[in-house]
Amino acid sequence: MKNMNFVRVAAANIDLKVADCSHNKRKLLEKINEAWNKGIEIIAFPELTITGYTCGDLFFQKFLLGESESAIKDIMELTSDKDMLIAIGAPIEFNNKLYNCAVIINCGTLIAIIPKIYLPNYNEFYEQRWFNSGVGIKGCEIDYCGNQVPFGTDILMRCQNNPNLVVGVELCEDLWAVIPPSSYLSMAGATLILNLSASNDLVGKSQYRRDLVVNQSARCLAAYAYASAGYGESTTDLVFGGHCLIAENGKLLSESEKYLLQGNLIFTDIDLDIISHDRKKISTFKAENHSNYRDVPFMAYQRHNEVERSYQKQPFVPQEDNEMLRRCEEIFNIQTIGLSKRIQHIGSKSMLIGVSGGLDSTLALLVCVKTCEKLGLDKKMIKAVTMPGFGTTDRTYQNAVQLIESLGVDFREISIEEACRLHFKNIGHDESIRDITYENTQARERTQILMDLANMHEG
């Protein structure tokens, strides 16, 4: 696993109590210890986890802010022996303004505080009543938990022992914006985006949220870990399902159950080499000016050798029947429209195709037939040729004949055995030796026949 450059990432939530920072601290430490025992290197919790998202006007209380800071300080002290990157949501006061922030802890040190940029103030949300936007806050520091800590939206966390692991952070609504901050973060080098969220549940919203996470990971050519608030938040106005998701380059790798009473933790191994490879290969992925961002160093070491993610045995074949049908239709239509354009462009008077009775030639023949139907051409312009040879079985031969006859195309049969034997004689090859020369002689003879027939029939 170490040689393959995987990083183990988790998204989690807790069964919190609103405005009870002491309880929430204990629950966070339980999840952090669980994550540590599973070999997790990076973990994200929902926004405002330390207090609860639904505190309302209690956010204005100095006492709550003090309890929040005290709980974070305790978490720092109790995780000093853990080289994990831990992202926790908390309300932070800066220059007499309140911000909804991600607090980043590593090896017991508070290394960064990142404020939310886009504050929803529509429908069921009214965050602007309590919080200020972090837009434009760059190059700042804040005195928090007795430390001078980088504060702003211009922060990238760079792993000192893995140069391909660069972490960026956004919070909830940031992802729903027209251009999410993660787009700029990824262009500046972030290979993993953490989203600390408190997204409530409405009918159909889970699918939209899932699509947002997966699609943003694809656009950013990055991994994306999304942790949303769950059980324990106030249900006065809203219900929070605790939806957690982890995606990589447009593929959903892990998704949590929703509506659990005890909190949740999902994790998977992110393949940093795939992300690096795709970014080098895709020329439209351009680098943002990195000078606009501050690098904050952190440490995270792999502690397990096994890979904690599943791979499909047939990665290019959809597992669901409906998706399989849709994919097959798309493949068929792409081939048909490509052939249609070519036939019209070069003015071919016929299409020559060798039909063996196998899957490949069957598909090719069906594409030819569909092309004729699309262009309104006589199917007799398709000249299907079966060319039995030394290895042709009766089953495949009969399959070819029946297919050609059922489709109503022009049919011709040409045996290649005599021509191949003459070729063997000319080059001095023993027909009983079934080597690559034996195999390729038959393939080349079939190709020659089809090309000559195409010349004869202007195909």
Strands (E) in 380-454, as ranges, are 382-386, 410-413
Residue 435 buriedness (CB in 10 A; 0-12 / 13-18 / 19+): exposed
Q: What is the dihedral of CA 187, 177, 247, 238, to 10 degrees?
A: 150
Give yes or no: 116 in active site: yes
Neighbours of 309 (CB within 10 A): 15
Nearest to 183 by CA among 233, 131, 220, 156: 220
What is the C-alpha to C-alpha distance for residues 150 and 138, in angstroms, rounded to an integer?
A: 9
Angle at alpha carbon of residue 216, lines to 211 and 221, rounded to 5°: 130
**How is 230-292 classified by DSSP, letter by letter?**
-BTB--SS------EEEEETTEEEEE--SS-SS-EEEEEEEEHHHHHHHHHH-TT-PPP-GGG
Cβ atoms of residues 10 and 44 within 8 Å:
yes
In the chain, the amino acid numbered 395 is: R
Phi, psi of 83 (to 5 degrees): -85, 55
Of the residues 21, 25, 31, 47, only one is catalytic, namely 47
Q: Does 141 qualify as catalytic in the annotation?
A: no
d(CA 120, CA 140): 24
Considering the candidates 25, 31, 82, 116, report the single residue annotated as catalytic: 116
Task: Confirm whether 380 is a catalytic residue.
Answer: no
HSE-CB at 363 with a 13 A cutoff on CA atoms is 10
Choosing from 172, 220, 368, 372, which is the catalytic residue? 172
Going through 61-119 in order, the beta strands assigned E by DSSP cover 85-94, 97-106, 109-115
Using an 8 Å Cβ cutoff, are 226 and 9 in contact? no
Give me 259's structure tokens.
Answer: 């509506």
CA distance 161 to 54: 38
- The amino acid that residue 365 corresponds to is L
User: 10 Å Cβ neighbour count for 308?
Assistant: 15
Task: Indicate which residues carry an active-site annotation.
Answer: 47, 116, 172
